[in-house]
Structure formats: C-alpha cells, structure tokens
Structure 1
C-alpha cells in the first residue's frame, strides 16, 4: 500500500504480501486477541492512514509470533514447528525476537527448539548466525553513497495527501473500512480492514491492527475467502517502544564459530542474470499474476526445474494434480491464499487467485 512507501519502519514491521507465507500450524488465534474490546475514540480509515504516515518510530523491541495455515503439503527438506531454519517459516508456528533502531540497525532472531538463527544488520555489516550449527555468514553492504537515490518528486507533501492518495489507489479494487477495536500485546489498537472487490482473488480480507498511541502496526492478518480464520498472521505478543541498546546489533562470533565471508553486497536491487527471463506481472491489484519460466533439467524435456531432482522436488512435483485445457497441460499447486501453475512447457504462473485465473492468463500467452 503506497502509504508505507515513505515509512521504511512501517514496511519493516508489516510483512506485506510478498513475503513468503510465514508460519503454519496450531496456535490458537485467541492467543493474539483480547476477549474485551477496548473503548477508543472513533477513527475513520483515512485518519488511521494518517496515523500510520505520521508515526515516529525511533526504536522497538519485542516478541513476535508468526503462523500460517496455508493448506500446503510438506515440502522436501523443510521441517516445521520448532525449527530455527529460516526455510521452515513456510510451516509451523514460530517465535521471533525483534529489535529495531532505524533501517540500518535491525535484528531478527528466529527461535527454535534446539537453537536460533539471527539475521543482524548494523550499518553496512550483515550477519546471519546459526547457533545450532555454530556457523555464521558475514557480508558488507556497499557504501550507501553509491546506492541509487530515489526520486522523491512524486511523494505527497502532507500526511493527509498521502492518505488520500492511498485511498484513491486502492479504491478501484479494494473496499477499506475500520473494524473493531482490539488489544494486541496488551496494547489498545484500531483495526484497518482491506477487502478485495474481485471475487477471483483468494483473499477475503486483510486486517491490520494499528497501535492507538504509537500508530504502528501490531498485528497483520490475511483471511481467505469464505472463512473467518486467518490463514496467515504475524503479531506481537510483547512490544517495547524504547530504543534498543546498541549492543544488540553488535555480533561477535562465539568461540569455535565457522565464519564465511561472502562477496560485498549492494543496497541496490539485484539485477536479473542475462540468461534468466525476468518474471512479468499480468493484471493489477489483488488478481495480479506473476508469469515466469523455469530452466529445464539438463537433457530433460519436461518442466522439472534444474536441480529439482537432487533436492527431492522432482518427486514432489509429480504428486501435484495434473491439469489441462486450451492453454496446454501441467500441474497445479493450490493453497488457501495462492495458486501456482507449472506448465509442461516450463512456464510458472503464481497469484493469490483461483486456478481459473491462471488458466486464462496461460491461454492468453502473456
């Protein structure tokens, strides 16, 4: 949503639809919600957007629970509940500790049963530490002066203008409203509700709980069509708005840690390799479909991605339902919030839409 574009802190706190769906499994939704609705002054959707835009977040730390019940089958080599492996976030219920002291000082610790994995940014230094394996990876961002500077000419001049632009941008495809007041991590909050107008989307509603005092998101939920239970949820269970101690962002590898130095990274978005086909977006809003092409296994004639056999994914793909139509044939992966179509000619189509939308895009050849 464009209201977050000028607020990096808010983008960091709210894992918008991009993020690979995180967390799955069994924690009760009641864990994140209060039985009583706090009594708060009425706020309109536009006022809540202004609140988000004007929020001043100097620092934050807390505990976050992430969960998703996407209805996905188990993927090869990926464990679920209790794992500190970052890849495991697509399954199970996970607990994380987070620290934030500005866009260049962040730390996220994914807690597992036997250890934790930390991702730390301190200025230009990036560390990823796996306590269970006692391994760490270190890389350095390029000089921020070398990073591309964004064009700010199109940005709104006032918070109200930003709110108006955001409402105008989402109005054609989305109905925006204010839900019930709620309590998250012991703090009173308003609920901003986004409802797609197009029934082709698998998303029924997106709900964002906005802290009544600090005006930052405390909880983010995605509810599939036809249900009232979130399929994806991330929420604070404890939050402190004091600026964290700088020591939280200083990482000193413990004795015996195997440290790997990686090539210097850039703040810029990575370029697409020349041999790779850049995915393209078809459509707009909630029914956007990403269309790309996967490299075929060397010597093969099917659509199995290169390296999939070695990773065990080839057998997994063979378990997916076969589908066919005027667009061709392939296999489809369905979940509560997204659908993926892998065609026999190597195309991959993904969207938060029903399968029929993918078939239409595949047939159009776009």
Structure 2
C-alpha cells in the first residue's frame, strides 16, 4: 500500500546549510543587458529583478538536485556521518535529489529520504502531516486560524530547500554592496532562462558570485549557483532537473498513515502552553543565562560577521555531551590577541568558536573572524 494515493514519495536529502551565506550580502542593479538567445527578448538586470519579485505560479512539480563541494575538512562524526538523516557528509561534497509538489499556499509537499528511512511533510489546507518511516510515526497538526499562508518547513529555518528559497535569500539583501549584472541565456530543466549575477564588492568576502537562472516565461528561479572567489565551478548549486507548471492532482497532498503507524495529534495551542509551562520551572536569571547574549552583526554586506555568546552550563546543570566535546576537539586550534579557540573553514564560509564561549561566523576568511573577535 502506497503512503500516498498516487505515486510514492521520491528521494530528498537536506540541501547544504552553507547556502545560507547568500543572505549576507547586498546588491545594486546594473544596467547591462542580457545577451540572450535570439529567441528571447533582451532583459536588463533591473528588469529581471522585477520579474523575480512579481513571479507567481499556481502550481508546479519537479525534481530538484543539490550539489556541493564546500572545501570543508573531514571531521569524524560531523562531516562523515552518512547514516544520519541530517548528516553533513553528503552536504560537504556530493549530490542530493528532491521531489516537490506545489498547488498553492495551502497545498505543498516535500519528500525527504535519508539512509535510515523516509520523511514527508505535507500541507493540505488546514492539515499538516509530518511522517517518519523509520519510527513508523506520523504527527498531524491543524494550522491555527490566521496562519493560513504559512508554508510547511521540512528544513531548519534559514536553510534554502529550493531555488526559490535560495534566490529569496539573495534578493532580500539587495543594496549597494553588490554589483548586479547579466550574462545572457541559459538552459535549465529544458527551459529557456536568463542568468542574473550578484557579485560582492567586498574584498574580504569568500563569495565570488551568486548566479540565478530565471525562467524566461514564468520568471521563477530555476537554478542558483554560489561560486567561491576565483572559482570556475560552483561550490553550491540547487537547481530543477525537471519541472512542470501543471497543477499537481489533489491526491498528491492526501496522506494515508501506513498500517501500524503511531499517529500523534498535535495542537498548536497546547505546544505553546507546554513551552510556557516549561519556562515557569526556571527563574528569570536561569532563563537569561540559558539564552546567552543576543546575536550581533559586525561589519556590513558580504563581509559582515555574525557573533553571539553561547549559553553557559555549570557542572550542576549538566556538562557538555562527550560527543560535542569530541567534535570541538577535532577542529583545528586557533589563537590570537582575542584568546584561543577552534576554527571551521571552507570555501564559502568560516566559523570561529572561542574558548570563552563566543561564536563568530561569516562568508569571510578566518582572519576576518579573528579581527572581529579582537574587538571586545
């Protein structure tokens, strides 16, 4: 018996968390015209930006392929854990495939498949289903009144799961810190597209370009490539391999729990009450201590550094898990006038964890993080 009344869910693995670095920049639209295929009319960078912002489709389905080569070091238990549903092994260097369906704001479906089993997130009107095959468990949630337009999220907040999300992240940062140009025509998923190019002006940025292939007819992003500086091939790509703009059949969004599935009815109001009840168990001082210091941004645009102070724990509250300590110990050591810590760096971003509990991250080289850490 199929989980769905029509064809079953296909593969989906989580896109690279490093894709969020496209959020860090900004752009100013150039006036260069796309030297498009003779069959396509010319479009300027500014016109393509307007096209992207006004694009709207009633439905689509397709296969999305994500590939990455982030130049990250191999860390045992972190980047080589292929057995984990959200393991980073395939995100560091490899290719993942997705199948998605969309039929409006209240009908969307994403299928994920890890080596340990399948996970599906389905939004069908007021009903949201989250199904995990490995645990033979499904959670059903009713969308609260007033939240009808909220889309289901299968991935951690901020991680692009499609070309549209990756493009939205890049376009949301438009200002004068980036040059926006065009390179001409492209062919993606057997469809004609224009290519829009965002190039950071900041010399400190590790990102050389973000390229968006924009469908010539529907104006949605079909592909997003992120290039490291001076690179000739993308370090990260998320693109449609196949796409149809026909509205999927309604049965694609109907979920039937397989026999033996443990179904949990989740109530959004109850979830909020549980959170409030949990918070009441701790004093205000304890809550503030657990939160750590708020997130701050140092610098501007593509060279900006995000920093925060991690929550502190005492021996009485529970020490750091041995696994976490082991992962941190596997990272290269770093030191400077700011103190000592560990560095995690790739071709698109760097992360610094200091011994005094601070974290610094950005689409910049480690040296820029060290400078930010020294500014106490």
Structure 2 residue aligned with 1:47: 47
Alignment of 1:1-366 (within 5 A): 20-21=17-18, 38-39=37-38, 40-72=40-72, 73-74=74-75, 76=77, 85-88=85-88, 90-91=91-92, 92-112=94-114, 115-144=117-146, 170-264=174-268, 274=288, 275-276=290-291, 277-299=293-315, 307-309=320-322, 312-365=323-376
Displacement after TM superposition at 1:223 (Å): 0.4
Displacement after TM superposition at 1:282 (Å): 2.2
User: Does the 8 Å contact 1:100/1:244 carry over to 2?
Assistant: yes
- CA-atom RMSD in angstroms: 3.3
Tell me the SS of whatever aligns to 2:373.
helix
Displacement after TM superposition at 1:171 (Å): 4.7
User: Does the 8 Å contact 1:86/1:110 carry over to 2?
Assistant: no
Cα–Cα, structure 1 residues 288 and 38, in superposed 2: closer, same or farther, change >3 Å? Answer: same
Q: Distance in 1 between matches of 2:240 and 2:172?
A: 30
Cα–Cα, structure 1 residues 86 and 244, in superposed 2: closer, same or farther, change >3 Å? Answer: farther
**Matched residue count:** 308
User: Does the 8 Å contact 1:140/1:264 carry over to 2?
Assistant: yes
TM (norm. structure 1) is 0.74
Cα–Cα, structure 1 residues 77 and 211, in superposed 2: closer, same or farther, change >3 Å? Answer: same
User: Does the 8 Å contact 2:75/2:331 carry over to 1?
Assistant: no
Cα–Cα, structure 1 residues 261 and 70, in superposed 2: closer, same or farther, change >3 Å? Answer: farther
Tell me the SS of whatever aligns to 2:314.
coil
Structure 1 residue aligned with 2:155: none
User: Does the 8 Å contact 1:120/1:127 carry over to 2?
Assistant: yes
Tell me the SS of whatever aligns to 1:214.
coil
Tell me the SS of whatever aligns to 2:331.
coil
Between 348-357 and 136-145, report the one with greater CA deviation: 136-145
Q: Distance in 1 between matches of 2:371 and 2:234?
A: 28
Cα–Cα, structure 1 residues 19 and 113, in superposed 2: closer, same or farther, change >3 Å? Answer: closer
User: Does the 8 Å contact 1:342/1:348 carry over to 2?
Assistant: yes
Between 123-132 and 356-365, report the one with greater CA deviation: 123-132
Q: Distance in 1 between matches of 2:128 and 2:140?
A: 6
Q: Distance in 2 between matches of 1:194 and 1:336?
A: 17
User: Does the 8 Å contact 1:97/1:111 carry over to 2?
Assistant: no
- 1:284-328 deviations in whole A, cap 9, x for unaligned? 21122111122345329xxxx96442xx23112112111111111
Structure 2 residue aligned with 1:162: none
- 1:195-246 deviations in whole A, cap 9, x for unaligned? 0000111111000000011111000110001211111110101101111122
Tell me the SS of whatever aligns to 2:294.
coil
Cα–Cα, structure 1 residues 143 and 131, in superposed 2: closer, same or farther, change >3 Å? Answer: same
Q: Distance in 2 between matches of 1:146 and 1:184?
A: 32
Structure 2 unaligned segments of length 5 or more: list them: 1-14, 20-35, 151-169, 280-286
User: Does the 8 Å contact 1:95/1:110 carry over to 2?
Assistant: no
Q: Could you say which structure has the greater relative contact order, defined with CA pairs below 8 angstroms and 6 or more residues apart? A: 2
User: Does the 8 Å contact 1:189/1:211 carry over to 2?
Assistant: yes
Tell me the SS of whatever aligns to 1:71.
coil
Cα–Cα, structure 1 residues 203 and 292, in superposed 2: closer, same or farther, change >3 Å? Answer: same
Cα–Cα, structure 1 residues 307 and 147, in superposed 2: closer, same or farther, change >3 Å? Answer: farther
Tell me the SS of whatever aligns to 2:359.
strand
Cα–Cα, structure 1 residues 118 and 132, in superposed 2: closer, same or farther, change >3 Å? Answer: same
Between 189-198 and 126-135, report the one with greater CA deviation: 126-135
TM (norm. structure 2) is 0.72
Displacement after TM superposition at 1:134 (Å): 2.5
- 1:19-73 deviations in whole A, cap 9, x for unaligned? 7236xxxxxxxxxxxxxx8443221101111211232211111000012111222
Q: Distance in 2 between matches of 1:84 and 1:326?
A: 38
Structure 2 residue aligned with 1:11: none
